[in-house]
Chain A
Amino acid sequence: MVRLKSRYLLCEVNVSDRSQLLLLDDRAIMVAVKAAVARTHGDYGAAMCSIRFCVKYLNAHTGIVFLRFPKRCYKLLWSALPFITSIETRGQKIPCFLNCLHVGVKLRVCTKAQYKGNTNYLQPKTNKQLKKHEV
């Protein structure tokens, strides 16, 4: 029985310069999302964001990030994601935008969606696929 209900968002961080992706870390993304939510939805949004929000997984090579939101307010917090224009990390500001690919009820579902690797959305970014392209 799932009692504390959450929603997991599978997002992709799009940057113009791919080498800057490697600078990302989960704290930076957390700060950027919280700031965007506070800007867009004010104190109420910031309060809802602080309850059970976290960055569950981040892959700096592919730019895939899993965000967890509480179920009751995930749409509100999701609506603030398009307002993220840059992520500040290690003294640098990386201009980027977040693209949400999939919303799952359990983390496992999101992981499966990631492995399916829908090529319409994801460019070949994994090491395997990069090697394929190199060859």
Chain B
Amino acid sequence: MAVFMDLNVSFLPDRSDLRSVVETAAHHVYFVNLRVTSFLQEIPTPTPINELIDQLPVVQGRSRPIRVLNRLTVVMSDASHFRPNAPEYRRFDLLAVQPTSEKLFHAACMVYDIDIICVPMTEKLPFFFKRAPINGAIDRGVVFEVSYSAAIRDSTMRRYTIANAVSLMESCKGKVALFLQCFLYQRLDFLALLFGLSDGDAKEAVSSTCRAALLHAETRRTASGIIYTTRSQQEAPRGSADGRFKTGFLYRC
């Protein structure tokens, strides 16, 4: 089973608060992801973690310190908010999108080059989940994020969270493509049972799927081209190399 990770810790401008959050996280999880939600027009550059915290806390019993990654969440109310292939996105380890309409949700599932789709849980969704875009997203490796932090405080939020999460589970038929976001650092696989997942799916939802999202993000950032060579059918003339090779270069900008 993959390790536990928390992929959604909000960025706190106060350094001491941030340090205390990361220290708490270090005792329970292995990866922490600092989330930047931008309401501005321009995309902020992520501050390197060593500027924010001098030394990452090392917990006794583990040889390596906690890994802190950077994540950007784009709240989209219009298609122009997310510019595909923008160079600013390369500086972030994880890229997430929060669509607010059905068209944007469909586009995010099928087309956009992202890792995580955040589904708002705290309000009645303006759109219904359809099988086609969700299956398309799962095939591409995009995961869905269920945030339950609002459900802790308020009973109405709890109802909306559970209702929305259950509808999402029904649409993706329990094919696990989601992970839970929390800041309480507990084992949350039992909570996923409440959302309609089976035992195995629930466990995967909090561990393996997070890891899958991280790996998907790595490939998104690093894989930009493939060179392939194939042996062509022509016979080589004397004095030249053994066979003629045809090369091609597939690239993605």
- Can you list, as one digit per residue, whether each of B150-165 has a CB less than 8 Å from chain A (1) or not (0)? 0000010011111100
B160 and A47 within 8 A (CB): yes
Contacts of B163 in A (CB 8 A): 47-48, 50-51
Partner of B162 from A3, A44, A70, A72 at Cβ < 8 Å: A44
Docked complex: B102-125 residues within 8 A CB-CB of A: none
Instruction: Tell me the number of A-to-B contacts counted with CB atoms below 8 Å.
Output: 28
- Can you list, as one digit per residue, whether each of B139-175 has a CB less than 8 Å from chain A (1) or not (0)? 0000000000000000100111111001100100000
- Can you list, as one digit per residue, whether each of B198-225 has a CB less than 8 Å from chain A (1) or not (0)? 0000000000000000000000000000
Judge whether A30 is part of the interface by a CB distance below 8 angstroms.
no
A44 and B196 within 8 A (CB): no
Judge whether B58 is part of the interface by a CB distance below 8 angstroms.
no
CA distance A121 to B187 in the complex (A): 50
CB distance from B86 to the nearest CB of A (A): 38
CB distance from A31 to the nearest CB of B (A): 15
Closest residue of chain A to B131 (Cβ to Cβ) is: A3
Judge whether A28 is part of the interface by a CB distance below 8 angstroms.
no
Docked complex: A59-99 residues within 8 A CB-CB of B: 70, 72
Chain A interface: which size bin? 10 to 19
Judge whether B194 is part of the interface by a CB distance below 8 angstroms.
yes
Contacts of A51 in B (CB 8 A): 163, 166-167
Q: Which among A46, A47, A51, A70 has the greatest number of chain B C-beta atoms within 10 A?
A: A47
CA distance A4 to B128 in the complex (A): 13
Contacts of A4 in B (CB 8 A): 170
Contacts of A44 in B (CB 8 A): 162, 194
- Can you list, as one digit per residue, whether each of A1-31 has a CB less than 8 Å from chain B (1) or not (0)? 0011000000000000000000000000000
CA distance A34 to B226 in the complex (A): 57
B196 and A47 within 8 A (CB): no
A43 and B196 within 8 A (CB): no
Partner of B158 from A3, A43, A70, A72 at Cβ < 8 Å: A43
B167 and A47 within 8 A (CB): no
- Can you list, as one digit per residue, whether each of A37-48 has a CB less than 8 Å from chain B (1) or not (0)? 000000110111
CA distance A52 to B133 in the complex (A): 21
- Can you list, as one digit per residue, whether each of B216-241 has a CB less than 8 Å from chain A (1) or not (0)? 00000000000000000000000000
Q: Which among A43, A50, A72 has the greatest number of chain B C-beta atoms within 10 A?
A: A43
CA distance A4 to B159 in the complex (A): 21
A50 and B196 within 8 A (CB): no
**Could you pull out 22 A-B pairs where Cβ atoms are within 8 angstroms?**
A3-B131, A4-B170, A43-B155, A43-B158, A43-B159, A43-B162, A44-B162, A44-B194, A46-B159, A47-B160, A47-B162, A47-B163, A47-B166, A48-B162, A48-B163, A50-B159, A50-B163, A51-B163, A70-B170, A72-B166, A72-B170, A72-B196
A-B CB proximity, top 6 nearest? A47-B162, A47-B159, A47-B163, A43-B158, A46-B159, A50-B163
**With A43-B158, A43-B159 given, can you name 14 additional A-B contacts, CB distance below 8 Å?**
A3-B131, A4-B170, A43-B155, A46-B159, A47-B159, A47-B160, A47-B161, A47-B163, A47-B166, A48-B162, A51-B163, A70-B170, A72-B166, A72-B196
